[in-house]
Chain A
Amino acid sequence: MARLYGPRGWAAIGLSAAVLFVLFPLANLALPEGNPLHLSAYWVTLAGKIMCYAIVAVAMDLIWGYAGILSLGHGLFFALGGYAMGMHLMREIGREGQYRSDLPDFMVFLDWKTFPWHWWGTEHFWWSALLVVLVPGLLALVFGYFAFRSRIRGVYFSIITQALTFAAMLLFFRNETGFGGNNGFTDFKRILGFTVYTPQTRMALFAITGAMLIGTLLLGRYLVTSRFGRVLEAVRDAEQRIMFCGYNTLYYKLFVWTLSAVICGIAGALYVPQVGIINPSEMSPANSIEIAIWVAVGGRGTLTGAILGAALVNGAKSFFTQAFPEYWLYVLGLLFILVTLFLPHGVMGLLATAGRRKAAS
């Protein structure tokens, strides 16, 4: 464990943990509303949402920054995890929907009488939690196995991941598929017996997300600093050569690909109760491409860069859509262009060169 980070790294992690697990809860729960230091629910949910995105960014960095696999469909795994958790939350609404029926509202207006087969067991939290891990994982496993076995790489791979998430989005937009169509799942009431929108539940979800983020970071770090990580980087840099050395790159790629998908699924499951809605536009190709830009902005191949990038871009998005809504797309587009042209190593790279220059001077 100790070799994962140097003393500065651990200090940073400790500080973040303190902010997340001590400062935030105090500012939100302990301080009264009038207090200038009080953090409203708005900030808690916003921070929680950004942390979920950060988890996805770390997962993306694992496959792109370290294994060289650019997936433009990772939003699919995020959304699948979200839907799995969403199904359980919809069950928990019970009879308090608009139609006072056991079935969710959208099934009532489709004239369905019972739950479809894929909803079986979702009233139990543990089964939904299992689905959160299994569904993205199995899909990633099957897709990845066939793709990597055929040695599909680079741009072609990115394009077919796009196709996959696009097809899934179309499927989920259909009301007959049984996932609420365009409305998706919303109006959640309870999770594990706790009401969803009380400050305490919010803070608890926030804390769990924070813990998950730190855990993912440490897990990723562990992987990339091990021998496994070395092989991965070799796969990224010179796949044919490492194949000739006798390594079966299929297993390495498949492992990190599936792990990444599972992490995204869990992030999605944490995202849904905090944001309060999930709908098929989470699977849109544009969303998945945005994940790539978070990692690119922060700095590929650094893990912490991914977190930084996710925070920066999403923070900017929240700010711009409020202050200068007409200019947000310009900012985002220019970000894509400038980062790829001038900042190939992202913000972390910028900081590193600044640090080196300071050390040299």
Chain B
Amino acid sequence: MDRRGFIKSLKNLLGPAIAAMLAASVTQASAADKVVKVGVLHSLSGTMAISETVLKDVALMTFDEINAKGGVMGYKIEPVVVDPASNWPLFAEKARQLLTQDKVAAVFGCWTSVSRKSVLPVFEELNGLLFYPVQYEGEELSKNVFYTGAAPNQQAIPAVEYLMSKEGGGAKRFFLLGTDYVYPRTTNKILRAFLHSKGVDDKDIAEVYTPFSHTDYQTIVGNIKQFAAGGKTAVISTINGDSNVPFYKELGNQGLKATDVPVVAFSVGEEELRGVDTKPLVGHLAAWNYFMSLKNASNDDFKKEWAAYAKAKKLSSADKPLTNDPMEATYIGIHMWKQAVEKAHSFDVDKVIVAMAGQQFKAPSGFVAEMDSKNHHLHKPVFIGEVKSDGQFSVVWKTKGPIRAQPWSPFIPGNDKKKDEPEGKSKV
């Protein structure tokens, strides 16, 4: 083929090709116009997969629910699911990927405090938006994070107050047992100061930590018995993850009944009881802002929706679908984000942050959850539940209404100087 012919044939090819590309980009643009990407940052493998996989599923369920009703401001939500594999540096890398590569409008994720602390610099640097649905130890307040889980004053402190009350058993001595990381350490520090303020001496407080995945609790249960010989004792357990199962089994087998030494746990919910024989545990307690057994219309809808979703997607939990507090918090967080976007008429992070203030949502807990106007935390009700033999919780006490969160606990010295709202400027 000679040169002229070659160029002509090129033109013949290029023309349509360019036209096709233009057409494609136009249709792409019109399709892209109506889609907003949202990130889901939960471990789907590794030690935390047990807890976090359901949060990914409930997030996807909520996105489907919102999309079915028309999406957010007419945009369909397109979830971007990544697996940081319970590896904290990988959390930071995936967060960065979600924000810079996928350019998501918001991220729903994290469970452990380590994972949250490792992604925090990324969110602050890139001015992203994170919704964190798990109860935690407080002592943090970032402009780029909305905390839909409980702060210590919405979980730990009401639980201890209940234990000290006549109704709760009138405990005089307290055995603080936790897994060795920041959440139990900080919570126990707050609780110790709280107990001091109620007149409990240090000699009536024991503080013990075990490593993650610890399974042999024989000695510790023996120590609890010894400690209990000194007076009416309650155990406050911040044991995390799968160590709870061997602990409760050992308690039951060594004959430590809940009527003698009640154990209140902050990290044990319906999902954690799934793998446990609950008959010896009847009477032990948990404190949350939501229980699956709550009887109200919004909870019934929520449970029905989850059961249907689990069945439709053939999830491994479909034969016995359970809902728990972090799932409820995820659900609330996503809906509040949608409401904030629609109020701000924009996906821009700064505008959404402003619009989040004061958002309200009828939560499955039966109360109206409200995002505080300043401190990025939800006002949540507190429920104390006792384990029943079927693995559900029966609510034995609850607050009259939602409680405002105090992320800077007044029981830690120096916190009185902290402001109740995040520092305004991002680092960029």
Q: Are A321 and B90 in contact (CB under 8 A)?
A: yes
Is B170 positioned at the interface, with any CB of A under 8 Å from its CB? Answer: no
Question: A325 near B45 (CB under 8 angstroms)?
Answer: yes
Please provide the chain A residues from 295 to 331 with a CB less than 8 Å away from any CB of chain B in the complex. Answer: 318, 321-322, 325-326, 328-329
**A42 at the B interface (CB under 8 A):** yes
A321 partner, pick from B83, B100, B112, B414, beta carbons under 8 A? B83
Contact A322 B97 (CB under 8 A): yes
CB distance from A7 to the nearest CB of B (A): 38
Q: Is the CB of B100 within 8 A of A175?
A: no
B100 surroundings in chain A (CB, below 8 A): 40-42
Q: Contact string, A45-71, partner B, CB cutoff 8 A, digits 1/0?
A: 110010000000000000000000000
Of A100, A109, A184, most B-chain CB atoms within 10 Å: A109
Number of cross-chain contacts by CB at 8 Å: 109
The yes or no answer to B185 lying at the interface (CB within 8 A) is yes
Q: Is A237 an interface residue (CB 8 A)?
A: no
Partner of B121, one of A106, A111, A197: A197
Q: Are B93 and A45 in contact (CB under 8 A)?
A: yes
Within 8 A of A (CB), among B151-198: 180-182, 185-186, 189
- Rounded to whole Å, the gap between the CB of A81 and the closest CB of chain B is 15
Which B residue's beta carbon lies closest to that of A33? B100
Cβ contacts under 8 Å, A139 to chain B: none
A12 within 8 A of B: no
Chain A residues near B209: list those with CB within 8 A: 175
Q: Is the CB of B120 within 8 A of A181?
A: no
Q: B263: shortest Cβ distance to chain A, in Å?
A: 23
A173 at the interface (CB under 8 A from B): yes
Which residue in B82, B120, B412 is a CB contact (below 8 Å) of A187?
A: B120
Judged by a CB distance under 8 angstroms, whether B89 is at the interface is: yes
Residues of A close to B114: CB separation below 8 A: 182-184, 279
> Interface residue tally of chain B, by bracket?
35 or more
B198 to chain A, nearest CB (A): 20
**Complex CA distance for A125 and B8, rounded to whole angstroms:** 66
Of B85, B117, B189, which is within 8 A of A109 by CB? Answer: B189
Q: Is A275 in the interface zone, CB < 8 Å from B?
A: yes
B233 to chain A, nearest CB (A): 24
Is A158 located at the chain interface by the 8 A CB criterion?
Answer: no
User: What is the CA–CA distance of A122 and B115 in the complex, to the nearest angstrom?
Assistant: 26
Residue count of chain A within 8 Å CB distance of chain B: 40
Of the candidates A110, A281, A328, the one having the most CB atoms from chain B within 10 angstroms of its own CB is A281
- 8 Å CB interface, B374-428 against A: 412, 414, 427
Distance to closest chain A CB from B191 (angstroms): 13
Give the distance in Å from the alpha carbon of A4 to the alpha carbon of B63 in the complex.
Answer: 59
Name the interface residues of A258-278: CB closer than 8 Å to any CB of B. Answer: 275-278
Q: Complex formed: what's the CA distance from A262 to B91 in Å?
A: 28
What 1/0 mask marks residues of chain B from 104 to 136 whose CB sits below 8 Å from any chain A CB?
Answer: 000000001110011011100100000000000
Of A188, A277, A318, A329, which contacts B88 at CB under 8 A? A277
Per-residue 0/1 for B44-57: is the Cβ within 8 Å of any A Cβ (1 yes, 0 no)?
11000000000000
- Tell me whether A277 and B211 are in contact (CB under 8 A): no
- Taking a contact as CB atoms under 8 Å apart, the answer to whether A45 and B113 are in contact is no
Asked whether, in the complex, the Cβ of B182 is within 8 Å of the Cβ of A181, the reply is: yes
In the complex, whether B76 has a CB less than 8 A from a CB of chain A is: no
How many Å lie between the Cα of A281 and that of B100 in the bound state?
A: 26
Say yes or no: A276-B211 contact (C-beta < 8 A), given A182-B114, A183-B117, A281-B87.
no
Q: CB distance B88 to A279 under 8 Å? A: yes
Contact A109 B185 (CB under 8 A): yes
Question: B212 contacts the other chain (Cβ, under 8 Å)?
Answer: yes
A183–B113 touching, CB < 8 Å: yes
A170 within 8 A of B: yes
Q: Judge whether B139 and A98 touch: CB under 8 Å.
A: yes
Contact of B30 with A by CB under 8 A? no
- Identify which of residues 42-100 in chain B touch chain A, using a CB-to-CB cut-off of 8 Å: 44-45, 81-85, 87-90, 92-94, 96-97, 100
Q: Say yes or no for B216: interface residue by CB 8 A criterion.
A: no
Contact B189 A42 (CB under 8 A): no
With both chains docked as a complex, state the minimum distance between the C-beta of B84 and any C-beta of chain A, in angstroms: 7
Residues of A near B117 (CB, < 8 A) are 183, 186-187
Q: How far is the CA of A175 from the CA of B188 in the complex (A)?
A: 14
- Check A42 against B97 for contact (C-beta < 8 Å): yes
Is residue B140 contacting chain A, with contact meaning CB distance below 8 A? yes
Complex contact A182–B96 (CB within 8 A)? no
- Verify if B226 is at the interface (C-beta below 8 Å from A): no
B82, B83, B118: which contacts A186 (Cβ < 8 A)?
B118
Q: A106-B182, A109-B182, A197-B121 are in contact. Are A325 and B211 (CB under 8 A)?
A: no
Residue pair B82, A321 in contact (C-beta under 8 Å)? yes
Task: Please name the residue on chain A nearest to B84 by beta carbon.
Answer: A321
CB distance from B186 to the nearest CB of A (A): 5
Partner of A325, one of B83, B118, B181, B182: B83
B-contacting residues, A138-181, CB 8 Å: 170, 173-175, 181
Q: Which residues of A contact B97 (CB under 8 A)?
A: 42, 322
Q: Is the CB of A109 within 8 A of B92?
A: no
Distance between Cα atoms of A173 and B89 in the complex (Å): 16
**With known contacts A41-B100, A42-B96, A325-B83, A184–B125 Cβ distance under 8 A:** no
- In whole angstroms, how far apart are the Cα atoms of A181 and B88 in the complex? 13
Q: Tell whether A275 pairs with B85 under 8 Å between CB atoms, given A40-B100, A109-B139, A183-B117.
A: no
Closest to B140 in A: A98
Q: Which residue of B lies closest to A169 (CB)?
A: B211
Chain B neighbourhood of A276, CB < 8 A: 89, 92, 118, 121-122
Does any Cβ of B come within 8 Å of A99's Cβ? yes
Q: In the complex, what residue of chain B is closest to A274 when comparing beta carbons?
A: B89
Instruction: Report the bound CA distance from A183 to B414 in whole Å.
Output: 22
Contacts of A279 in B (CB 8 A): 88-89, 114, 118
Sorted from nearest, which 9 A-B pairs have the closest CB atoms? Answer: A325-B83, A182-B181, A277-B118, A275-B89, A321-B83, A42-B100, A325-B44, A109-B186, A183-B182
Kindly list 16 other residue pairs between chains A and B, CB separation below 8 angstroms, not including A42-B93, A173-B211, A184-B114. A109-B412, A170-B211, A174-B211, A175-B209, A181-B180, A181-B181, A182-B181, A183-B113, A197-B121, A276-B89, A276-B118, A318-B93, A321-B94, A322-B83, A325-B83, A326-B44
A-B contact pairs, 17 of them (CB 8 A): A41-B100, A42-B96, A42-B97, A99-B414, A106-B182, A109-B139, A109-B186, A173-B180, A173-B212, A174-B180, A182-B212, A183-B117, A186-B121, A187-B121, A281-B87, A321-B83, A322-B83
A residues apposed to B, CB below 8 Å: 40-42, 45-46, 49, 98-100, 105-106, 109-111, 170, 173-175, 181-184, 186-188, 197, 275-279, 281-282, 318, 321-322, 325-326, 328-329
Please report B residues at the A interface, Cβ cutoff 8 Å.
44-45, 81-85, 87-90, 92-94, 96-97, 100-101, 112-114, 117-118, 120-122, 125, 139-140, 180-182, 185-186, 189, 209, 211-212, 412, 414, 427
